[in-house]
Amino acid sequence: MTVEVHRDRWGVPSVRAGDVLALARAQGRETARDRGWQIEVERHRAQGTSAAFLGEEALEWDLFARRARLADTARRCVERLDPATLSWLSAYTEGVSEGLAGAGSLAPEFAAAGVRPGRWEPWVPLAVWLSTHVLFSGLPSKLWRDVARRALGPAAVGWFATDGPATAGSNGWLLPGSRTASGSALLAGDPHRIIEAPGVYQQIHLACPEFDVVGLAMPGVPGIAHFGHTGSVAWGITNAMADYQDLYREKLRRRGGRVEARGPEGWREVAAHTETVEVRGGEPVTVEIVETGRGPLVAGGADEGTGVSLRHVPRVEGDLGFSALLPLLRARTVADVDAAVDAWVEPVNVLMAADTAGGLLHRVAGKVPVRHRDNGSGTVPAWQARYAWQGRFAEPPRAAVPECGAVMANQAGLAAPLGVEFAAPHRAARIRELLDSRERWTARDMAAVHTDTHLGSARTLLALLPRADELDAAAGAVRERLLRWDRSMAADSADAGLYASLRGTVVRRLTAHPVFAPLAALAAEEGARLPAVFAPWLAFPPRVAFALDTLLTPGAVPGLDPAAEVAGALAEVAGSGERARPWGEAHVLAAWQALPEPAAPGPGLSGDHDCVLSTSGVPGLAEHAWRGPAARWVWDLADRADSGWVVPFGAHGTPGHPHAYDQLPLWRKGALVPVPAAATRPAGAAGPGPSPAPGVQKESPLMATDSTAADVTPLHEEAVEGFGTVTVVPVDPRRDGGLIHRWVSQERARFWGMVGKSREEVEDIYSYLDSLTTHHAYLVLRDREPVGLFQTYEPAADVVGECYEVAEGDFGVHLFIAPAEHGRQEGFTGVLLPVFLRFVLKEPSRRRIVVEPDARNEKAVARLVRTGFELGPEIDLPDKRARLAFLRRETAAGLL
């Protein structure tokens, strides 16, 4: 079965196959190539085996995954899949295993962690999905609500009833054709998750005779679930904030060698066994796995006599909703989408969709069990029958899309009957205000909504500032400055930094206030007693930080004077004498990595938790942003090619890869990159590199085009004494095409093989190279000035590989030094060549560098010999007779 894989200029794969199963297999294979390390970490996390190579920091999650029986639940769900979905899933996992056995296994993290990729089975994607979403509904918040109720009474639960940084959220909006310039609907949004590197979403294009879809996939899971565009219909989701998982307080005892739990029918024997969790650098840990009639125990145990069990739909029904995935890919209308998501289980989402015929859809998708209302407010006693599930599910709410459009931002809207805690209305209100500010919208206009930094929640605190005549000069000056502030949490705003300083001081004062002392003490006690995986939900200071809207409402909390606390905080800030720092100095990107690397602080970010640009830390504790938009997307129903998207880092998951971080500058400033579109092979493609058909895309108005190579985040940078700073950045064919054409069209560049080609032909050639995973092109800058062109290739995927016996670890390079007007001088190449070799050999899997200069280029050959290359035979290539030369890593050791 023919399969084609092309890459656009951002490394996003377009995968085409002759049928659905071949396409699924290819999607799995490409995912493993791009995200091999990432998906293997997720496989181990779902199984509870990640501490074996990540160490003690991963132990608590592994214990939770084992006790919650995530992998076993996934196996149970896969056994009940319909045959078509199971075959499709099996094809995907076969592809993943193939990819991991090849290029996917070369990610340097595998060697660093001392682990090898394993084989994927059909249940693994379900386990990855379940592991990623099992805490999405905030089920540990039920533990928190128990603590609040016990410490301060039932009223305290309401004081803290809001979302926080540990809760996943999203923005999403749908504009019908009456509100757009094209007359066709627009959908847009951004999912908010913990920011991870690599990112949690994978941009991908999947095509076969049955469908042609672009969307954001989850690495390790086939198809496109949450955000997709089939050409005639598009959809996106936000977290419904529904309550669909329950925690039961269990009474347990041992009787002989058995474990018993007390249920509504009395004491009954329950399933129990032990498992061993391996820990890198530590002793193995034995954990007892107990499952009662309600569900697996996630806290406590038989030796304690008490515990907490988890009951959720996938475990009870053996269904995770994967039968919805193939019908989503095949959808042509909103009715098709509607029918597909009827099978959805969890997480429970609010879904919006539109089609080219004018159809609109706004509904909840997912299964919420019908049970006693108290099940949502906290843990409930397992031995009381009234808290048992009733065996049916709530009817998913749906609503017509009004003429002004639909907005969802995790507020208590469509899904209000299904949940307990929702996000404050600030984001939703601001999106609606922005959308109402103009009559007609285009896809390009959506960046202004995505990146809006107005902080609506600031008014609650600012309204409590004392009168000017009550303050000394320093406090009065701070007060006046804050009241003049435009309430924009822009990274370069010192006023935003000043507000954050005041807010943080208020949070710290409230956290230490005597009225909350019993709650703070009990939260700390329970946080130490319960499994550490629940700690983010039980920590008291973050609860205060994200409940300021309520806590600062006069009269809401008996014994608390909000105005006095704000006045005290203002005096502290004014009296500190510290300068107001720009918000971005504190609010820096802090991405999670399975293997953290020592690095400089991340870039400063605009936005805040309650901004549309929702980037969250914990006010008063850690302002760095570790949660935010895990992607941004705009679906245009007038022309899919005018749609756009962006992710925080890039399409590839390997550090040092050209597409590992190339989208970060765009993500920071709110630009989008175009989705892949079909194209034809560039005429006359030649020069360095192979010649399969490339994937070149049309230009998009969403893409910023005024950047220069010096603006790009470098892949490699080093200062060379007496020479300057050398920087390596990826080639952008459109941005750099004119420059490269000037270089390679000169007679001195005849060895490069492009003399006589037009600028358009040169751009086409480099666009083609940019679409490949095996060949890459880079510009070399000296003190920000372009001075050379550097290309790399995998010999096994190049015509060169047909001319000699390729060894494992071989890696090919081409080097072109710019004409003299760009700074070439005596010894110039001799200085740059070691820099390039250090860049290439940062990747441990590269054992031998391969070059093949024109055999007539005696100067180049002599330079290689001086550097340590061993000469090989002459070979005949399509455009030249070349001389092979090889540099072994051991020989180059002095350069590293």
- β-pair partners for 716: 728
Beta carbons within 8 Å of 555's beta carbon, 6+ residues apart: none
Task: Indicate whether 692 pLDDT > 80.
Answer: no
**Other C-beta atoms within 10 Å of 521: how many?**
12
DSSP label at 222?
-
pLDDT tens, position by position, 275-288: 999 999 999 999 99
Lookup result for tokens 């890593």: 889
Pairing of strands 380-381, 245-255: parallel
Instruction: Report how far residue 100's alpha carbon sits from residue 107's, in angstroms, rounded to the nearest whole number.
Output: 10
Residue 826, Cβ density class (10 Å: 0-12 exposed, 13-18 middle, ≥19 buried)? exposed
Among the listed residues 357, 394, 361, the one whose alpha carbon sits nearest the alpha carbon of residue 375: 394
Among the listed residues 633, 697, 700, 639, the one whose alpha carbon sits nearest the alpha carbon of residue 667: 633
pLDDT at 856: 86
- Cβ pair 736, 777 in contact under 8 A: no
Lookup result for tokens 């031995």: 383
DSSP label at 578?
P
| Residue 198, preceding peptide bond in cis (omega within 30° of 0) | yes
Q: How many CA atoms lie less than 13 Å away from 190 in the CB half-sphere?
A: 32
pLDDT at 685: 33
3-state helix, strand, coil in the chain (%, to 5): 35, 25, 40
The whole-number average pLDDT for the span 575-582 is: 89
- β-pair partners for 196: 592
Which amino acid is present at 895?
L
More confident residue, 102 or 509: 509
Residue 269, Cβ density class (10 Å: 0-12 exposed, 13-18 middle, ≥19 buried)? exposed
Instruction: Report how far residue 48's alpha carbon sits from residue 278's, in angstroms, rounded to the nearest whole number.
Output: 9
Phi then psi dihedrals of residue 438, to 5 deg: -145, 160
pLDDT at 345: 97
- Cβ pair 28, 93 in contact under 8 A: yes
- Three-state DSSP state, 422: coil
pLDDT tens, position by position, 616-665: 998 888 899 999 999 999 999 999 999 999 999 999 998 888 899 999 99
pLDDT at 687: 35
pLDDT tens, position by position, 820-864: 644 445 567 777 778 888 888 888 889 999 999 888 888 888 888
Q: Assign 388 a pLDDT band (cuts: 50, 70, 90).
A: very high
Instruction: Report how far residue 691's alpha carbon sits from residue 471's, in angstroms, rounded to the nearest whole number.
Output: 74
Among the listed residues 317, 316, 298, 295, the one whose alpha carbon sits nearest the alpha carbon of residue 308: 298
Task: Indicate whether 221 pLDDT > 90.
Answer: yes
Long-range contacts, stretch 334-342, CB < 8 angstroms, 24+ apart: 334/233, 334/359, 334/360, 334/361, 335/359, 336/233, 337/233, 337/235, 337/361, 338/363, 341/365
DSSP 826-892: TTHHHHHHHHHHHHHTTSTT--EEEE--BTT-HHHHHHHHHHTPEEEEEEEETTEEEEEEEEETTGG
Pairing of strands 3-7, 380-381: unpaired
Beta carbons within 8 Å of 433's beta carbon, 6+ residues apart: none
pLDDT at 705: 42
Task: Indicate whether 65 pLDDT > 60.
Answer: yes
Q: Alpha carbon 364 to chain centroid distance?
A: 23
Instruction: Report how far residue 191's alpha carbon sits from residue 189's, in angstroms, rounded to the nearest whole number.
Output: 7
Tokens of 801: 């590989």
Pairing of strands 3-7, 13-17: antiparallel
Instruction: Report how far residue 878's alpha carbon sits from residue 581's, in angstroms, rounded to the nearest whole number.
Output: 60
pLDDT tens, position by position, 740-792: 888 888 877 776 777 777 877 787 788 767 767 788 889 888 887 888 888 99
Where are the strands (E) in 582-708, listed by range? 616-618, 622-629, 632-636, 644-646, 673-674
**Other C-beta atoms within 10 Å of 687: how many?**
21
The whole-number average pLDDT for the span 44-67 is: 97
Instruction: Report how far residue 190's alpha carbon sits from residue 611's, in angstroms, rounded to the nearest whole number.
Output: 12
The whole-number average pLDDT for the span 9-35 is: 95
- Cβ pair 695, 7 in contact under 8 A: yes
Answer left, alpha or beta for residue 178, where phi above 0 means left and psi between -120 and 50 means alpha: alpha
Instruction: Report how far residue 737's alpha carbon sits from residue 744's, in angstroms, rounded to the nearest whole number.
Output: 11
- Cβ pair 782, 725 in contact under 8 A: yes
Q: Assign 689 a pLDDT band (cuts: 50, 70, 90).
A: very low
Instruction: Report how far residue 334's alpha carbon sits from residue 870's, in angstroms, rounded to the nearest whole number.
Output: 63
The whole-number average pLDDT for the span 281-303 is: 97
Pairing of strands 349-355, 380-381: unpaired
Pairing of strands 13-17, 202-208: parallel
Least confident of 34-38, 358-362, 433-437, 868-872: 868-872
Instruction: Report how far residue 29's alpha carbon sits from residue 100's, in angstroms, rounded to the nearest whole number.
Output: 8
Q: What is the 3-state secondary structure (H, E, C) of 326-395?
A: HHHHHCCCHHHHHHHHCCCCCCCEEEEEEECCCCEEEEEECCCECCCHHHHCCCEECCCHHHCCCCCECC
Distances (CA, A) of 712 to 129, 305, 552, 705, 763: 34, 59, 44, 12, 19
Least confident of 458-472, 593-607, 878-892: 593-607
- Three-state DSSP state, 580: coil
Q: In 185-205, which positions are buried (b, 16+ CB within 10 angstroms) versus exposed (e)?
A: bbbbbbbbbbbbbbbbbbbbb
Residue 358, Cβ density class (10 Å: 0-12 exposed, 13-18 middle, ≥19 buried)? middle
pLDDT at 139: 86
Residue 568, Cβ density class (10 Å: 0-12 exposed, 13-18 middle, ≥19 buried)? middle
- β-pair partners for 212: 207
- Kindly list the structural domains of the chain, giving each domain's residue range(s) and its CATH number in brackets, ordered by start: 454-487+490-586 (1.10.1400.10), 705-895 (3.40.630.30)
pLDDT at 681: 34
Tokens of 551: 């806590």
Lookup result for tokens 């004018």: 358
Tokens of 655: 């550090």
pLDDT tens, position by position, 124-174: 999 999 999 999 877 899 999 999 999 999 999 999 988 876 667 899 999
Instruction: Report how far residue 891's alpha carbon sits from residue 896's, in angstroms, rounded to the nearest whole number.
Output: 10
Angle 29-34-35 from CA coordinates, rounded to 5° = 95
